[in-house]
Structure 1
């Protein structure tokens, strides 16, 4: 048997080619096509990490939610958004990076454009759901302007601005970032083809420039400071994901686990956890070594946040036990299913966030509602991901299997 990689990034077994073969319908002796089993070598760590990030984003976007005290933003500088963007870059190389040489430029650009359209539709659905829900809900009970910018709560003059990304409402601003980064993928790819380090070098230089002058940003009609997730800074995290994915593919194995680097990552994450932990919220003595003087900016992706997410990524991607856990454990597989349906889960989760916030503001934040909102919300997202995963599996199983090249009977002659 030999192995080849399909366009989904999995490794499949194919028959060895030592025996002579003929096209189906030839004059050779009768042959029987044999469909070979598929053995997946997909790295489920990426899917599981992305799934965990999506569920944490659902939890974090409900300010009144007590469960968000336990998400990663409370034990480090970075949060689920950094993980999501880094893995978006990693997965983008798997989905499109190899396509230019394997399938051609035009088919790959078409697939990339199709995905961008899907992201744009998802953003439109979320915006419309927010606007019409808030406008409808406020007929029954007052709704704080925090749920929707006042400019969007009245009139229709905002429509063209939101559709052109000139106006980015709060809690609806990460999808436009992802769309811009994915739309710029061909530029990253072209630079990487010139030299593997060129894209990373230029991307890092732009990130450093924005950190020195945060005023460099895309305009936002709703915020004079521009986009909350500054694309000129966050593109560096996306580029790091692309480069890591390309490097892993080229090497054919995980990152090398260097004990000194592992120890350094753990030391930094421990410092990050102590400095970022909300001690006062838990009624504990403040143990932060730098107090309030160290507050890494999220908007332009400050170096401390970048180091935090990169340390987590290295520890996971260099760990064989993490690979086995993601592939074999029940929790790992459930998270991986969520990660494989990232767009659908994100859209539904963002809309559920709005309803959860409205429920809390209308009916209170008691324990019964806390449990109900979290259990129902997480159950909906996990069930949605499981259903989508089963549907994809059935769709693949229903496709006609291309017959293996028939092997000519002994003694048959080739035409």
Structure 2
């Protein structure tokens, strides 16, 4: 589960191959592509909307999945594979973070890039604070009119004010508000990953993978959580590897100047694995069908420490999409692709609003029932608000980019931080 433009006097980058994707901000925003030399042949747009569209789809599915009573969550990706929208979100956050900050150290200098990174972390912290406060005051206010289960907040947080410092220090993570702290921790660790990559471009990924393997062998290695003796639900020591894979994939794509090669054997392997994942993860009994899971209940890959089966699932999806020209065309030239891309470009704002809408949807269902009329109303209104918010933010950003700055030069769309 984000956005600013660079100033007009930001130095231009050197020309790059036309197949390199245009920079996406850590929140899904885009950076200005470098201008090609005047003598260069006309090139297609460098903008690769697939990252934006994938993250937009993940955000909308997270909104749907976080409402347990929502019948629409039977149709999201968690029903047809081991991984779900959270894995997609974290992987793409890593991919976009490299484009927003990785080359910034060389282009703009260390201090300006660290300042942008720090500013982004502050924005994430503010977003988390808004969600926590909205949850607390909404639940406490709703209780004046009808009983509300403490499940909507952790029992310790449902009463009194002694919890505030724990939540603000991430010592206590409520179960519905735990992915933003993960993202903030991962983004804070970005400079360390970058330094390791400067030593050797494979060193950071190797160390990250070793730590992930260690946590999978001993899941008790985790950050403490006052509300849960098992620690953070999204174990940062494990999930950092997925973020690191996104960073590395982005860096390699930029270095090579082209997309991932479409290797038929690898495509077939990914498809076979995803078919197995779908058979094993599909809720057959929920639909009144015979249970066709090859391993039944014996295979339940853990989400908290990012089981290898979940990791392979999301990486297979990522490779199939990022190596596909059809996916590129769909994201760039269809109405659905562009709407999802808008949502993905403003992921912080969309995620904060969607998390608050999730709470209201759950309260509405628990108070007034889960009939079809409310199901339709909650989903249509909620999704419309999120898509409309993204569209409004997109227009506002584009209008700001067109306004003259200083001496009259238009402000370019910089890589968002």
| 1:172-251 equivalences in 2 (<5 Å) | 172-251=177-256
Asked if structure 1 preserves the Cα contact closer than 8 Å seen for 2:15 and 2:37, the reply is no
| Residue of 252, 255, 261 corresponding to 1:256 | 261
| 1:334-413 equivalences in 2 (<5 Å) | 334-400=339-405, 402=409
Aligned to 1:32: none
Deviation at 1:145, TM superposition (A): 1.3
Aligned to 1:408: none
Give the Cα–Cα distance (whole angstroms) in 1 for the partners of residues 326 and 33 of structure 2: 21
Aligned to 2:110: 105
Note if 1:278 corresponds to 2:300. no
Aligned to 1:24: none
Deviations 1:328-348 (A, max 9, x none): 100000000000000000000
Question: What secondary structure does 1:371 align onto?
Answer: helix
Deviation at 1:38, TM superposition (A): 11
Aligned to 1:265: 270
Asked if structure 2 preserves the Cα contact closer than 8 Å seen for 1:9 and 1:42, the reply is no
Question: What secondary structure does 2:221 align onto?
Answer: coil
Aligned to 2:4: none
Give the Cα–Cα distance (whole angstroms) in 1 for the partners of residues 66 and 237 of structure 2: 24
Aligned to 1:33: none
Deviations 1:363-388 (A, max 9, x none): 00000000000000000000000000
Give the Cα–Cα distance (whole angstroms) in 2 for the partners of residues 216 and 67 of structure 1: 35
Distance 1:395 1:309, change over 3 A: same
Question: What secondary structure does 1:11 align onto?
Answer: coil
Question: What secondary structure does 2:220 align onto?
Answer: coil
Deviation at 1:15, TM superposition (A): 6.0
Give the Cα–Cα distance (whole angstroms) in 1 for the partners of residues 145 and 175 of structure 2: 23
| 1:159-174 equivalences in 2 (<5 Å) | 159-174=164-179
Distance 1:14 1:212, change over 3 A: closer
Note if 1:94 corresponds to 2:116. no
Give the Cα–Cα distance (whole angstroms) in 1 for the partners of residues 137 and 400 of structure 2: 35
Between Structure 1 and Structure 2, how many residues are aligned? Answer: 384
Give the Cα–Cα distance (whole angstroms) in 2 for the partners of residues 92 and 250 of structure 1: 15
Distance 1:202 1:213, change over 3 A: same
Distance 1:204 1:186, change over 3 A: same
Give the Cα–Cα distance (whole angstroms) in 2 for the partners of residues 17 and 229 of structure 1: 50
Asked if structure 1 preserves the Cα contact closer than 8 Å seen for 2:81 and 2:277, the reply is yes
Aligned to 2:293: 288
Deviation at 1:302, TM superposition (A): 0.2
Asked if structure 1 preserves the Cα contact closer than 8 Å seen for 2:139 and 2:148, the reply is yes
Note if 1:149 corresponds to 2:154. yes
Note if 1:41 corresponds to 2:46. yes
Gaps of 5+ in 1: 19-36, 404-415
Asked if structure 2 preserves the Cα contact closer than 8 Å seen for 1:274 and 1:288, the reply is yes
Gaps of 5+ in 2: 1-12, 17-21, 24-29, 411-417
| Residue of 54, 57, 68 corresponding to 2:59 | 54
Asked if structure 2 preserves the Cα contact closer than 8 Å seen for 1:13 and 1:39, the reply is no
Give the Cα–Cα distance (whole angstroms) in 2 for the partners of residues 16 and 260 of structure 1: 40
Deviation at 1:61, TM superposition (A): 0.0
Larger Rg: 1
Deviation at 1:187, TM superposition (A): 0.4
Aligned to 2:415: none
| 1:130-149 equivalences in 2 (<5 Å) | 130-149=135-154
Question: What secondary structure does 2:176 align onto?
Answer: coil
Give the Cα–Cα distance (whole angstroms) in 1 for the partners of residues 96 and 225 of structure 2: 28
Question: What secondary structure does 2:35 align onto?
Answer: strand
